[in-house]
Structure 1
């Protein structure tokens, strides 16, 4: 069964302990993986190129969020530090409060975050881009 992008969260491991907390509300999230590099194995006897998979490619992870001074300040305080991050799929709504659960998947990685406001035009919401440079492979948590 398919799931919706509703209830997807950018999470960070709390400073003390093993629990995760929501970083900020996000408007989109990047691919959480990439195709492996293709290593050519073609010989002069082959009539078509052949390959084996190499190292998996992964770009910087870019998220979009609404700009608020409070959220931007919170993100700037995280810059230059390697932290444990995750993207959680799934949450639970109780009494009008939405709580991340990761019930549909948790994708964890370490990395360094940076943030900047993006340009805008007439009658638009001011956004910011949150970029995380991953320093470990993305793993699926159980």
Structure 2
């Protein structure tokens, strides 16, 4: 059964911490997933018009806006200090998943009077994202 849309509430960003999956607390936004493939020019001397084929995708770094809560920053800081690629999963409320691997970094937002302090978790993607659609509900 189709539905009108999907609310973002309940979407979770998590990373593998050994054998367990650990959610990142207080995520405010998730970037666009995927990328445009590069165009490869295959025009030859007999071509009437320029011709192209789909080339390799170049995935941009992913940046997630996060509200600073102390513990959540310490967790990310430890990942960055380790200097290793990490397995990440974004799970949407209906079960749609995006999985990717990459090395994390962070940067703090500017701050103003009467504003929540935040930081951006960035990931230099080395593999993925691989999208897995949510399974269809069983109709009965």
* TM value normalised by structure 2: 0.82
How many residue pairs match? The answer is: 128
- C-alpha distance in 2 between matches for 1:135 and 1:5: 26
Query: Are the equivalent residues in 2 in contact too, given 1:9–1:25 (CA < 8 A)?
Result: no
Task: Give 2:90's aligned residue.
Answer: 87
Aligned-residue CA RMSD (Å): 1.7
Question: Which of the numbers 97, 106, 110 marks the counterpart of 2:97?
Answer: 106
In structure 2, the partner of 1:127 is: 118
Q: Which moved more, 1:64-73 or 1:54-63?
A: 64-73
Higher strand residue share: 1
Consecutive unaligned residues of structure 2, counting only runs of 5 or more, are 134-140
Residue 28 of structure 1 corresponds to which residue in structure 2? 29
Taking the aligned partners of 1:134 and 1:38, their CA distance within structure 2 comes to: 21
| C-alpha distance in structure 2 between counterparts of 1:46 and 1:87, whole Å | 44
- Correspondence 1:4 to 2:7: yes
How far the C-alpha of 1:32 sits from its partner, in A, is 1.3
